[in-house]
Amino acid sequence: MLFAGKVALVTGAGSGIGKATAEAFARLGASVGVLSRTEEEVDAVVRDIRGQGGDAIALIADIADEAAMRAAVDRLVGAFGALDIVIANAGINGVWAPIDDLEPAEWDETITVNLRGTYLTLHLTVPHLKAAGEGSIVVVSSINGTRTFTTPGATAYSATKAAQLAMVQQLALELGKSHIRVNAICPGAIETEIDDNTRQRGTDEAGIPVVWPQGQIPISAGEPGTAAEVADAILFLASSKARHITGVPLWIDGGQGLLR
């Protein structure tokens, strides 16, 4: 059991990549804090984990809300006595629109959730990792803003994903002396529900017409990756098998970013 005796927090764990990651940690022996702002989703994930013999606790919080996140982290540590692994996965695509059409409130929403939320997740959990004497953090970024810049209208989203990678590389040095590793994964097209919540406006105007080679994802004949495939990479970076890896972005896109 690769994570036996470990306690992991996974944000955005009610669906998609977060759900797959939380369930995988539990299967490998970790006690898991399943965090999302949607109570019904996290309750269902916790039931599934417990039904398979795992250990998990439901945590309801908006990652951009300091009081709610502080209470959630305190509840997790109170329940399991420690915290060893943090997966900062929660985020939004927000509004994708030309820069002169993107409203300030729409920009602010994406920045608040994706950057303030990531900051608060790390700000509130790092003291517990330091207390444990070591730890691992994995931030879920994206190929957008780190490897590709061709998604029409995704300026706010790409800016947050680039900033997340900068945070990871900055903190890899800052936290290294505390034996805390910090890495990023950068998924490409993955089968999740996040696209259903993406608001797009005027993207034809913002886009650059490109004729792709046949299929956008070479290794899978154009098919998107799965949440489980991303979870496998997260587990590797969080585990002792990656004990000499920190400050690294890992692109999980089947080669998609190389075409774009």
pLDDT tens digits in sequence order for the chain, 260 residues long = 899 999 999 999 999 999 999 999 999 999 999 999 999 999 999 999 999 999 999 999 999 999 999 999 999 999 999 999 999 999 999 999 999 999 999 999 999 999 999 999 999 999 999 999 999 999 999 999 999 998 889 999 999 999 999 999 999 999 999 999 999 999 998 886 555 566 766 666 666 665 555 567 877 877 889 999 999 999 999 999 999 999 999 999 988 888 87
- The DSSP symbol for 194 reads G
Kindly state whether residue 206 falls inside one of the protein's structural domains: yes
Kindly state whether residue 1 falls inside one of the protein's structural domains: no
CATH (domain of 152): 3.40.50.720
Two structure tokens written together for 45: 């994930």
Long-range contacts of 109-114 (CB under 8 A, 24+ apart): 110/156, 110/157, 110/160, 111/156, 111/159, 111/160, 112/64, 113/63, 113/64, 114/157, 114/160, 114/161, 114/164
Kindly state whether residue 183 falls inside one of the protein's structural domains: yes
Catalytic residue positions? 157
CB 259 within 8 A of CB 213: yes
pLDDT, residue 210, reads: 58
**H or E element: which one contains 26?**
helix 16-27
* β-bridge mates for residue 86, sequence order: 9, 137
Kindly state whether residue 125 falls inside one of the protein's structural domains: yes
Kindly state whether residue 177 falls inside one of the protein's structural domains: yes
pLDDT, residue 176, reads: 98
Domain range for 131 = 7-259
Kindly state whether residue 239 falls inside one of the protein's structural domains: yes
pLDDT, residue 207, reads: 63
CB 160 within 8 A of CB 145: yes
Helix 104-111 vs helix 155-176: crossing angle, to nearest 10: 30
Kindly state whether residue 152 falls inside one of the protein's structural domains: yes
Kindly state whether residue 2 falls inside one of the protein's structural domains: no
- The DSSP symbol for 242 reads G
pLDDT, residue 67, reads: 98
Two structure tokens written together for 189: 């097209």
Number of domains forming the structure of the chain: 1
pLDDT, residue 258, reads: 84
